[in-house]
Structure 1
Amino acid sequence: MPGIAVSILVAITAQFLAEHYGMPAMLMALLIGLALNFLAEPDTRTAAGVAFSARTILRVGVALLGARVSAAMVADLGFVMVLLVMSGVICTILFSLLVARLFGHKWSFALLSGGAVAICGASAAMAIASVLPRHEKSERDLAFTVLSVTLLSTFAMIVYPIIALSLAMTPGQSGVFLGGTIHDVAQVVGAGFSVSPEVGETATLVKLIRVSMLVPVVLSFSLFVRYSGRGSTTQREKLPLLPGFVVAFLALAGMNSVGLVPSEVSDIAGDVSQWALSVAIAAVGIKTSLKRMLDVGAGAIGLLIVETLFLAVFVIIGMRFIA
């Protein structure tokens, strides 16, 4: 309990800062957590609870995201736009695999960073990390990716609406651009509704369609690791084909699609999911040494920036062709 309580306290503090000073809650949770790294030392009373929060509470948060996704979203947006959004996710991940070597990183970091940029930022990073082979730098890479995509997402929340206006996009195109390119759900909502209610609703819808790509992407990564000979034999055997929390995500999305999840319950599940993810990110921060995270180097930062730019350009060009 001590470690869980500390993680919850950090999440509450981060939420307070987010509400009063306009700072992203996920970013604040991670940064505060990094300052409390000493609480994750093996001989402390908080170590076990912090590890539980970073693993189990994280999975609860990702699973509950499924209650906000439904098949009706696809019909509302239209087949062509959905195809563009899905293509953006796939092409960004493939692009990451192609250029990762140029930035001095291996396939595992390419999948982690590319998936985080392509799908839904911090939550996607943590879900993807669960099916990648573990190594001594896994926690560091995860914390670095969460920090970077959150910062980039915050920057995009400010800059992308300006880009949409400067390119004279229609409200529908603006919503697709913002929802199809900004990493985290909260920043998509902030960017979309800063333009107009119509743009905000479209952007949120598009973003949730990207979130729904989490299941096939995680499954694909799991199959890739298992059958490509990546990692040790023991690691491949221990990694689940599809983690239980991803199955729960899929089940909730299916229930929501057939109307078994009332809108009130879906909203509550979304709120609980955000809190759970904040607690988990706080715990990931506590478990991570800031010094070790900085050892990732400039190449990792460059890779994430290039992936972000690729996705933005891909969606803009795609909409031009569609129009």
Structure 2
Amino acid sequence: MHAIALTDRFARVRELAPGMTISLVVAAAATFLAEHYGAPVLLFALLLGMALNFLSGEGSCKAGIEFTARSVLRIGVALLGMRITLGQIAELGWMPVVLVVTLVVVTISLSVVAARLMGFQRLFGMLTGGATAICGASAALALAASLPNHPQKERATLFTVIGVSVLSTLAMITYPMIARFFELTPVESGVFLGATIHDVAQVVGAGYSMSTETGDVATVVKLMRVAMLLPVILVAAMITRMQGADPASGKRPPLLPLFAVGFLVLACINSTGWVPAMVQSGVNDLSRWCLVIAIAAIGMKTQLRELAAVGIKPILLMVGETVFLVALVLLLMHWGIKP
């Protein structure tokens, strides 16, 4: 019996190896390009993967690419929990927490309404709104893993990843100018940057380009937004359960996906302060690699002509969400919701 099980596992590994290997190679190439040209690594991984989309057709790579786009993605999202501690959130007091919770709830809610008014499914609004309000491409991938299966889900996910990556890079350049224009203090600038820029890397870049204090505050506020990923995933999972059984497996999905449980457990472990810095850094690097490898695989599953057919409306939706987020944060800070 054990020999049969072992043989089956080896056969499964041989089946997955080609697709996982090519995903890893694309991720390594994307990382090299990102380090040398300063663009978001997830965007490079996505574009390189799309250039190799012929590999996801019938052939030796198909199974491994499917596995990487689904399972490796969920591992990467779970490992994001190691970026967060409860102490980091407590240090800034309750005002930034109120600001973050408010902007996430309001932005996602209005995004769902706007998407519906523009003729899209509500879930597309949740996907783009979550990516805008929480943590960019990582949130888009995590929400996509939680939302119900749909023929257009992968195309919507890819479009969202591209959109938030481009908008986040533009924000890294322009938002420090906005902070200076409104004469925000270093702490206020950190709250503004951390609450509005989509991706963690761009928050860090923008914050520390202004000052060390601004960079520290921006990073912590950004991690508060990352922490909001868990309750939003829980809501997405509840929506998925309301849709009934998954057509592919015939089973109702769990109320809280396993990768979300892993996210919560790692965040709690990290909050104890017992995790060595080297281990924490290693887990964060592994999370980043898993997400880059997964987005490379998702890119390989996508046809360029499908993305070209999305039209102008989704672009307007994402730009509108981004502008709304900036206006909302400035308004809340003006009303006194700040450190």
TM-score by length of 2: 0.91
Q: Secondary structure at the residue paired with 1:130?
A: helix
AA partner of residue 306 (structure 2): R
- Listed one character per residue, the Cα deviations across residues 123-176 of structure 1 (whole Å, up to 9, x for unaligned) are 111111122111111111111111111111111111111111111111111111
Q: Is the 8 A contact 2:53 2:302 kept in 1?
A: yes
- Work out whether 1:283 is the aligned partner of 2:271: no
Q: Is the 8 A contact 1:120 1:183 kept in 2?
A: yes
| Aligned counterpart for 1:131 among listed residues 131, 146, 164 | 146
Equivalent-residue separation in structure 2 for 1:20 and 1:130 (angstroms):
31
User: What is residue 9 of structure 2 aligned with on the other side?
Assistant: none
User: What is residue 171 of structure 2 aligned with on the other side?
Assistant: 156
- Listed one character per residue, the Cα deviations across residues 159-217 of structure 1 (whole Å, up to 9, x for unaligned) are 11111111111111111111111111111111111111111111111111100111111
Q: How large is the Cα RMSD of the aligned pairs?
A: 1.4
Equivalent-residue separation in structure 2 for 1:244 and 1:225 (angstroms):
14
Equivalent-residue separation in structure 2 for 1:33 and 1:233 (angstroms):
31
Shift of the alpha carbon at 1:234? 4.5
- Listed one character per residue, the Cα deviations across residues 240-285 of structure 1 (whole Å, up to 9, x for unaligned) are 2111111000000011112232222112111111111111111111
User: What is residue 111 of structure 2 aligned with on the other side?
Assistant: 96
AA partner of residue 298 (structure 1): I
AA partner of residue 314 (structure 2): A
Task: Extract structure 1 runs of 4+ deviating beyond 4 A.
Answer: 232-237
Shift of the alpha carbon at 1:233? 4.8
- Work out whether 1:112 is the aligned partner of 2:139: no
Q: Is the 8 A contact 1:67 1:261 kept in 2?
A: no
User: What is residue 207 of structure 1 aligned with on the other side?
Assistant: 222
User: What is residue 27 of structure 2 aligned with on the other side?
Assistant: 11
Q: Percent identity?
A: 50
User: What is residue 276 of structure 2 aligned with on the other side?
Assistant: 262
| Aligned counterpart for 2:159 among listed residues 144, 163, 166 | 144
| Aligned counterpart for 2:316 among listed residues 290, 295, 302 | 302
| Aligned counterpart for 1:293 among listed residues 289, 302, 307 | 307
Distance 1:9 1:301, change over 3 A: same
Equivalent-residue separation in structure 1 for 2:207 and 2:175 (angstroms):
10
Shift of the alpha carbon at 1:309? 1.0
Q: Is the 8 A contact 1:88 1:314 kept in 2?
A: yes
AA partner of residue 254 (structure 1): C
AA partner of residue 174 (structure 2): V
User: What is residue 40 of structure 2 aligned with on the other side?
Assistant: 24
- Work out whether 1:191 is the aligned partner of 2:206: yes
Q: Which moved more, 1:294-303 or 1:175-184?
A: 294-303
User: What is residue 7 of structure 2 aligned with on the other side?
Assistant: none
- Work out whether 1:40 is the aligned partner of 2:56: yes
Q: Secondary structure at the residue paired with 2:335?
A: helix
Please list every run of 5 or more consecutive structure 2 residues that lacks an aligned counterpart in the other structure.
1-16
Q: Is the 8 A contact 2:50 2:304 kept in 1?
A: yes
Q: Secondary structure at the residue paired with 2:163?
A: helix
Q: Which moved more, 1:231-240 or 1:170-179?
A: 231-240
Q: Is the 8 A contact 1:103 1:302 kept in 2?
A: no
AA partner of residue 18 (structure 1): A
Equivalent-residue separation in structure 1 for 2:56 and 2:123 (angstroms):
25
- Listed one character per residue, the Cα deviations across residues 97-142 of structure 1 (whole Å, up to 9, x for unaligned) are 1211232211110111111111111111111112211111111111
Alignment length, in residue pairs?
Answer: 319
| Aligned counterpart for 1:121 among listed residues 117, 133, 136 | 136
Distance 1:140 1:211, change over 3 A: same
AA partner of residue 240 (structure 1): P
AA partner of residue 85 (structure 1): V
AA partner of residue 319 (structure 1): M
AA partner of residue 23 (structure 1): A
AA partner of residue 29 (structure 1): A
| Aligned counterpart for 1:59 among listed residues 67, 74, 79 | 74
Q: 1:165-184 alignment to 2 at 5 Å?
A: 165-184=180-199
| Aligned counterpart for 1:272 among listed residues 286, 290, 293 | 286
Equivalent-residue separation in structure 1 for 2:60 and 2:160 (angstroms):
28
Greater Rg by CA: 2
AA partner of residue 82 (structure 2): A
Equivalent-residue separation in structure 1 for 2:222 and 2:114 (angstroms):
25
AA partner of residue 44 (structure 2): M
